[in-house]
Amino acid sequence: LIEDRSTNGTWVNVSKLQPRRLHLLVHGDEICIAPSSHTDQIRFIFNCPNATQPSSILLPELLNKYHITETVGSGAFAKVLKAVHRQSGITYAVKAIQTKLPLAANAIEREISVLMSLHHPNIVALHETYKQPSHTYLILDYVPNGDLMDHILNAGPLSERDSSSVLSQILDAIHYVHSRGISHRDLKPENILIQSLSPIRVKVCDFGLAKANGPSSLLKTFCGTFAYLAPEILQSRSASPTSPQKVYSNAVDIWSIGCIAYVSLTASFPFNGVTQDEMHRSIVSATFLMAPLKQARTSQNAIDFLSFLLQPNPEKRPTALSAMQHVWLLGNSSVLSEIESSDNNAY
């Protein structure tokens, strides 16, 4: 707190304080004890370090190598920090994850294991890791333009040209992931980061729920975000405890990509329901809403693409490679060629 008891006045961030009234200061405030027009100014910057600042949770060896500039995101158990490599000047993202909970620790080890095996221009790369008892730190690609969901919420749905480009890049990444015997299992717009906007280039992130498939390529774990879950996952969750455990394949990722395509085109979800049970029934029926597509004047080729991916029967769903050959995506091959050419020059 600050109180002005001066004769000539006190300013905080160019605003003059009312005399003898307390004013709350926040980190970074500028205090000036002479008006801006005065030639002799005395200024102070208020600095208020606290336990939640990024540097307080970081290892000294990490700080010796990287300069932390800001926090770019945070959740219940993790923070994402922007960092500059001191020697090269390259910007990275530091994902600082609490490891107190066993489930969190398992997810971290899974993500590290998966990311270390993946090298693709449309997948966020892991460069190195640091560990201490309370946290694990992942040094990742820094992707500057936020995630796809935030972009859609702020700017509205993508054009079909940009949507098809984004979907082609996601499918190319997931085709690569599946070819490595891995399923992502949590594909959603929040896990699609935007590298650039013109042309639009994206990277898939967050492999904390990813799983290496067994010899039969069948999975049994219920996970992922509800609105993007495939019908077979929901059916396995709602089955009786005495029923044989249902299995599902990496086709669940294709369903999620279909949902991402719908959101990209309409800025709304493909299935609705007032309650979770209603949403469950809507997803299992695989009847996506047509009104938002009509309102967005979505082309028939794009609607056919959605139907192609959002098949209720996973055995009828295309592979990622097959989906990439759909006419809606091939119709925008000039955009993709530009992106691929740029990627080839970068690697």
- Cα atoms in the 13 Å half-sphere on the side-chain side of 206: 16
pLDDT at 340: 54
pLDDT at 141: 98
pLDDT at 347: 39
Provide the CATH number for the domain formed by 148-346 in this structure: 1.10.510.10
pLDDT at 227: 85
CB neighbour class for 104 (10 Å; exposed up to 12, middle 13-18, buried from 19): middle
Task: Give the Cβ contact number of residue 177 at 10 Å.
Answer: 25
DSSP secondary structure letters along 107-160: HHHHHHHHHHT---TTBPPEEEEEE-SSEEEEEEE--TT-BHHHHHHHH-SPPH
Binding residues for ATP: 95, 190-191, 206
pLDDT digits (tens, 9 = 90+) for 137-194: 999 999 999 999 999 999 999 999 999 999 999 999 999 999 999 999 899 999 999 9
Calculate the alpha carbon distances from 50 to 45, 57, 97, 249 in Å.
Answer: 16, 11, 19, 47
Sequence-distant (≥ 6) Cβ neighbours of residue 86 within 8 angstroms: 64, 65, 66, 67
pLDDT at 51: 39
> Among residues 186, 277, 304, 343, which one is catalytic?
186
Q: Are 280 and 139 in contact (CB under 8 A)?
A: no
SS3 332: coil
pLDDT at 222: 46
pLDDT digits (tens, 9 = 90+) for 64-97: 999 999 999 887 778 899 999 998 999 999 999 8
Q: Are 67 and 94 in contact (CB under 8 A)?
A: no
Provide the CATH number for the domain formed by 54-141 in this structure: 3.30.200.20
- How far is Cα 190 from Cα 230, in angstroms, rounded to an integer? 17
Q: Where are the alpha helices (DSSP H) in 221-347?
A: 231-238, 251-266, 276-285, 291-295, 300-309, 320-323, 327-330, 333-346
SS3 222: coil
- How far is Cα 44 from Cα 15, in angstroms, rounded to an integer? 14
Given a cut of 50, the residues of the chain with pLDDT beneath it are 50-52, 215-223, 335, 339, 345-347
Binding residues: 95, 190-191, 206
Report how far Cα 84 is from the mean position of its chain's Cα atoms.
Answer: 20
- For the chain, give every domain's residue range: 1-48, 54-141, 148-346
Q: Is 186 a catalytic residue?
A: yes
Q: What residue has token string 């005065």?
A: 38
Task: Give the Cβ contact number of residue 208 at 10 Å.
Answer: 23
pLDDT at 36: 53
pLDDT at 346: 44
- How far is Cα 73 from Cα 61, in angstroms, rounded to an integer? 22
- How far is Cα 266 from Cα 264, in angstroms, rounded to an integer? 6
